[in-house]
């Protein structure tokens, strides 16, 4: 087991090195001056240029440049944003929690709604409920997310006026940025209108979470259902039935564990899709997250920001992937065999 | 006392081409404490019958029978849940691929403990889990596993097929079943383990009076370990009776051919003689012959064989053939 963990970590290190090499080379691959792309400074005077070139070691060979780049990354000097001339790391620290908040709630919904519905619909695969669930799941799976978001906005925000269309919280409330997670920050803030602020934040949260959760939830429903139906055909299930256990006992003791193990792995695989969808959702709902910021940066040709955003998001996706892989191995004795 | 009495068990599979009758009106009866062998080629429906008795066939199969008597009680009149309860309490089954019949993600101990029914444990409830563990260890010892500690903590993939099959047997006898169905229990095992397992089954039969239905395609093994025998061909029962008398004097041409094809039953067979075999091969289920299904391959088939012969009886010996080999008329 320890060997396995070490091997995984070793692989992770290599992936990160490759990733940082790619991010580093982007400064050269993007149009414009590499020094501008690295520093994010727009106007650089000749004296400053010479100073920065030696500081960034741009007069040396690529390997030394790369090492200097790495040491800057680790020391937290990620350069400036072209558009705001603010340090990128600080900017992203403000934005990333918003995206994580949205994505984690969507993931939780897909867990606590998707998996039980999948299990229920696998109990009677030919029943009305199961057919209905399958139909809804296929619809949810294939609906374009931006259209679905617009439909929901039309209905709940413009038509019924129940929910706001944009932002994380109303402008009336002032919440200090502590953790970056809005609900947590409100609970920590201890202002006198805490209760109202919480309700307001929740009402802002409902639509984006719903839109973002649609895809992973339907994936979970379909995957859990198929997984259980497949496991149900295995001979150890028949053997357990022949032991005299009831259907419920067999489902609980044998079918669920065997069927849900692949689901853990599925989370890791779905996470990259989830982040991509989160970017679209953020744009539609003006959610101040890293996805919207990255898309804006692409429009503004804000090269340092694209580079940094790419690095952060890929690191996140790869780490989550690796984590689910390790969890899967921990829980599945069969995977430990190798 | 009759333990099991099944009359005209028919198992059909619904396919796009219509209903296929995989098992055609087979009757099977067992006395208490009897060991009965069920022989037939692969695809003759042996395992289907076993699974139908235990009730673990999928929904694609349609199972019908004229009667299903269990210890003098007619089960087909009872509601489904009641049937399952009785069968689950009294019948246990072991399978041909033991490692696939164990849950790959659960430790052996958990699987063994859940096979022990509550009513087998004595003592107050707070001692239950302790008793359960004790009984699980005792069961492992009973099937000849001495190193219980490491086996109980293992997962099925860590154990050999022989150990897996032994734990399967331990699970099967955990509830002291009246009938143990062994569906080709030794196909995946090596010869020494095979012999161990059969001795184990024989000892349960003799010590506890547990009836055993032994399913196999190896006639020699069956002849050695069983008292009575049912021979299946292609889903039809061709002959049933006491093992010794069937081996000595088969009435059905198929049984005759089966026995002649085993060198062990012919002590004075000269070396390098080709073994006797029926021409042709077992038909596929889509193209079953009408009447006696052996018809096209039978050496003494006649016009009458297009009608299915009824099961006839001579003393304790049942056969279904229009032209039985009575009076030593070898074909």
Chain A residues with CB-CB distance to B51 below 8 A:
238
**Rg of the Cα atoms in chain B:** 21
Q: Does A1 have pLDDT greater than 80?
A: no
The closest of B147, B186, B150, B153 to B168, measured between CA atoms, is B186
The closest of B145, B153, B210 to B180, measured between CA atoms, is B210
Nearest Cα of chain B lies from the Cα of A137 at a distance, in angstroms, of: 26
Chain B residues with CB-CB distance to A245 below 8 A:
88, 114
Residues 273-332, chain A, touching B (beta carbon < 8 A): 332
C-beta atoms of B105 and A332 within 8 A: yes
The confidence score (pLDDT) of residue B198 equals: 85
C-beta atoms of A257 and B105 within 8 A: yes
Per-residue pLDDT of chain B (331 residues; tens, 9 = 90+): 788 888 888 888 888 877 888 888 888 888 888 888 888 887 788 888 888 888 888 778 888 888 888 888 888 788 888 888 888 888 888 888 888 888 888 888 888 888 887 776 777 777 788 888 888 888 888 888 888 888 888 888 888 888 888 888 888 888 888 888 888 887 777 788 788 888 888 888 888 888 889 888 888 888 888 888 888 888 888 888 888 888 888 888 888 888 888 877 777 778 887 877 777 788 887 788 888 888 788 888 788 788 888 887 877 888 888 887 775 544 4
Are the C-beta atoms of B156 and B97 separated by less than 8 Å? no
Are the C-beta atoms of A276 and A216 separated by less than 8 Å? no
Residues of chain B with CATH 3.40.50.300: 2-226
The confidence score (pLDDT) of residue A337 equals: 66
Chain B residues with CB-CB distance to A234 below 8 A:
100
Question: Positive or negative, the Cα torsion across A177, A183, A184, A189?
Answer: positive
Are the C-beta atoms of B172 and B165 separated by less than 8 Å? no
C-beta atoms of A334 and B104 within 8 A: yes
Residues 104-133, chain A, touching B (beta carbon < 8 A): none
DSSP H stretches of helix in chain A:
2-29, 34-39, 46-55, 62-75, 88-109, 115-123, 128-142, 145-152, 182-189, 194-232, 235-242, 247-250, 256-284, 290-299, 303-331
Among chain B residues, the shortest Cα distance to A236 is held by: B101
Lowest mean pLDDT among A74-88, A166-180, A247-261: A166-180
B157 touches chain A (CB under 8 A): yes
Q: Who contacts A44 (Cβ-Cβ below 8 Å, separation ≥6)?
A: A35, A36, A52
Chain A residues with CB-CB distance to B97 below 8 A:
235
B222 touches chain A (CB under 8 A): no
A58: which 2 tokens? 């741009």
Q: Which of B88, B101, B102 is closest, CB to CB, to A244?
A: B88
Nearest Cα of chain A lies from the Cα of B247 at a distance, in angstroms, of: 33
* Measured CA distances, A272 to A10, A140, A275 (Å): 22, 18, 5
Q: Residue A226 and residue B277: Cα distance in Å, rounded?
A: 46
B58 touches chain A (CB under 8 A): yes
pLDDT band at A37 (very low <50, low <70, confident <90, very high): confident
| Burial label, B264 (beta-carbon count in 10 A; 0-12, 13-18, 19+) | exposed
Count Cβ–Cβ pairs < 8 Å, chain A vs chain B: 69
The confidence score (pLDDT) of residue B330 equals: 46
DSSP letter at A157 equals I
B168 touches chain A (CB under 8 A): yes
Report the 10 Å Cβ neighbour count for A42: 10
The closest of B182, B191, B218 to B98, measured between CA atoms, is B182
CATH 1.10.3720.10 fits A91-337, yes or no: yes
Chain B residues with CB-CB distance to A333 below 8 A:
104-105, 155, 157
C-beta atoms of B88 and A234 within 8 A: no
Say what the alpha-carbon torsion angle B21, B22, B26, B30 is, to the nearest 10 degrees: -150
| Burial label, B213 (beta-carbon count in 10 A; 0-12, 13-18, 19+) | buried
Q: Which of B85, B87, B95 is closest, CB to CB, to A239?
A: B95
Among chain B residues, the shortest Cα distance to A329 is held by: B105
* Residues composing chain A: 338
Lowest mean pLDDT among A139-148, A239-248, B159-168: A239-248
Q: Classify domain B2-226 at the CATH superfamily level.
A: P-loop containing nucleotide triphosphate hydrolases (3.40.50.300)
Q: Are strands B317-319 and B236-242 parallel, antiparallel or unpaired?
A: antiparallel
Question: Positive or negative, the Cα torsion across A76, A81, A84, A88?
Answer: negative
C-beta atoms of B114 and A253 within 8 A: yes
Nearest Cα of chain A lies from the Cα of B10 at a distance, in angstroms, of: 21
* Measured CA distances, B87 to A241, B68, B165 (Å): 11, 11, 21
Chain B interface disruption, residue of A127, A229, A244, most B CBs within 10 A? A244
A164: which 2 tokens? 């706001």
Residues 79-118, chain B, touching A (beta carbon < 8 A): 84-85, 87-89, 91-93, 95, 97, 100-106, 110, 114-115, 117
Chain B residues with CB-CB distance to A246 below 8 A:
84
Q: Residue B291 and residue B321: Cα distance in Å, rounded?
A: 11
What mean pLDDT comes out for the span A99-117? Answer: 88
Among chain A residues, the shortest Cα distance to B102 is held by: A236
| Burial label, B17 (beta-carbon count in 10 A; 0-12, 13-18, 19+) | exposed
Q: Does A217 have pLDDT greater than 60?
A: yes
The confidence score (pLDDT) of residue B327 equals: 59
C-beta atoms of A239 and B114 within 8 A: no
Q: Which of A244, A249, A257 is closest, CB to CB, to B89?
A: A244
C-beta atoms of A245 and B106 within 8 A: no
Nearest Cα of chain B lies from the Cα of A128 at a distance, in angstroms, of: 18
Among chain B residues, the shortest Cα distance to A126 is held by: B59
Q: Residue B307 and residue A297: Cα distance in Å, rounded?
A: 84
Chain A residues with CB-CB distance to B84 below 8 A:
244, 246
Chain A residues with CB-CB distance to B55 below 8 A:
241-242
For chain A, domain boundaries: 2-75, 91-337
A229 touches chain B (CB under 8 A): no
C-beta atoms of B97 and A235 within 8 A: yes
pLDDT band at A205 (very low <50, low <70, confident <90, very high): confident
Q: Residue B91 and residue B84: Cα distance in Å, rounded?
A: 10
The confidence score (pLDDT) of residue B329 equals: 46
Chain A interface disruption, residue of B114, B164, B171, most A CBs within 10 A? B114
Enumerate the β-bridge partners of residue B211: B179
Nearest Cα of chain B lies from the Cα of A240 at a distance, in angstroms, of: 8
Among chain A residues, the shortest Cα distance to B96 is held by: A235
Span A164-186, pLDDT tens digits: 777 777 666 777 777 777 777 77
Q: Residue A316 and residue A72: Cα distance in Å, rounded?
A: 19
A236 touches chain B (CB under 8 A): yes
């Amino acid at each position: 087991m320890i060997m396995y963990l070490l091997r995984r970590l070793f692989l992770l290190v290599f992936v990160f090195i490759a990733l940082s090499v790619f991010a580093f080379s982007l400064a050269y691959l993007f149009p414009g001056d590499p020094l501008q792309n690295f520093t994010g400074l727009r106007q650089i005077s000749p004296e400053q240029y010479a100073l920065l070139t030696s500081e960034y070691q741009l007069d040396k060979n690529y390997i030394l440049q790369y090492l200097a780049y790495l040491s800057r990354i680790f020391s937290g000097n990620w350069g400036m944003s072209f558009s705001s001339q603010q340090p990128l790391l600080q900017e992203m620290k403000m934005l990333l929690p918003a995206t994580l908040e949205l994505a984690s709630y969507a993931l939780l919904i897909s867990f606590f709604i998707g998996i039980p519905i999948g299990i229920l619909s696998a109990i009677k695969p030919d029943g009305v409920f199961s057919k209905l669930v399958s139909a809804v799941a296929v619809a949810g799976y294939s609906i374009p997310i931006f259209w679905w978001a617009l439909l929901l906005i039309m209905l709940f925000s413009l038509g019924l006026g129940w929910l706001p269309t944009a932002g994380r919280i109303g402008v009336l409330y002032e919440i200090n940025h502590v953790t970056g997670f809005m609900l947590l920050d409100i609970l920590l803030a201890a202002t006198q209108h805490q209760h109202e602020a919480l309700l307001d934040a929740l009402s802002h949260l409902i639509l984006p979470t719903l839109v973002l959760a649609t895809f992973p939830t339907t994936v979970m429903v379909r995957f859990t259902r198929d997984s259980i139906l497949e496991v149900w055909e295995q001979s150890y299930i028949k053997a357990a039935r022949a032991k005299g256990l009831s259907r419920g006992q067999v489902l609980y003791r044998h079918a669920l564990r065997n069927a849900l193990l692949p689901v853990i792995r599925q989370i890791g695989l779905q996470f990259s899709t989830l982040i991509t969808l989160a970017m679209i959702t953020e744009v539609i709902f003006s959610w101040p997250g890293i996805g919207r910021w990255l898309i804006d940066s692409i429009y503004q040709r804000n090269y340092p920001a694209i580079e940094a955003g790419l690095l952060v998001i890929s690191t996140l996706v790869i780490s989550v992937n690796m984590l689910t892989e390790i969890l899967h191995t921990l829980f599945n004795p069969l995977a430990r065999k190798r | 006392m009759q333990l099991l009495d099944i009359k005209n068990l028919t198992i059909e599979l619904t396919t796009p081409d219509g209903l296929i009758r995989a098992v055609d009106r087979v009757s099977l009866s067992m006395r208490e404490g009897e060991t009965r062998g069920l022989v037939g080629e692969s695809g003759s429906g042996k395992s289907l019958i076993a699974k139908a008795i235990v009730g673990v066939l999928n929904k694609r199969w349609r199972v019908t029978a004229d009667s299903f008597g269990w210890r003098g009680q007619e089960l087909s009149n009872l509601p489904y849940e009641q049937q399952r309860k009785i069968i689950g309490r009294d019948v246990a089954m072991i399978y041909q691929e033991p490692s696939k019949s164990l849950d790959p993600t659960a430790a052996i101990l958990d699987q063994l403990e859940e096979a022990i029914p509550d009513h087998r444990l004595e003592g107050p409830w707070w001692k239950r889990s302790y008793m359960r563990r004790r009984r699980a260890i005792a069961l492992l010892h009973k099937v000849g596993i001495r190193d219980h500690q490491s086996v109980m903590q293992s997962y099925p993939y860590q154990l050999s097929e022989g150990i897996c099959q032994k734990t399967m047997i331990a699970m099967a006898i955990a509830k002291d079943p009246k009938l143990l169905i062994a569906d080709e229990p030794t196909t995946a095992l090596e010869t020494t383990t095979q012999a161990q397992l059969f001795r184990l089954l024989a000892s349960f039969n003799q010590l506890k009076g547990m009836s055993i239905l032994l399913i196999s395609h190896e006639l020699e093994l069956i002849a050695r370990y069983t008292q009575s025998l049912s021979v299946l061909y292609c889903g039809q029962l061709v002959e049933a009776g006491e093992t010794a008398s069937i081996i000595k004097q088969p009435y059905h041409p198929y049984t005759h051919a089966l026995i002649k094809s085993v060198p062990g039953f012919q002590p004075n067979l000269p070396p390098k003689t080709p073994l006797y075999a029926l021409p042709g091969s077992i038909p596929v289920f889509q193209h079953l012959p009408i009447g006696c299904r052996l018809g096209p391959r039978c050496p003494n088939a006649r016009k009458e064989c297009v009608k299915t012969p009824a099961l006839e009886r001579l003393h304790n010996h049942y056969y279904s053939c229009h032209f039985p080999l009575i009076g030593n008329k070898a074909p």
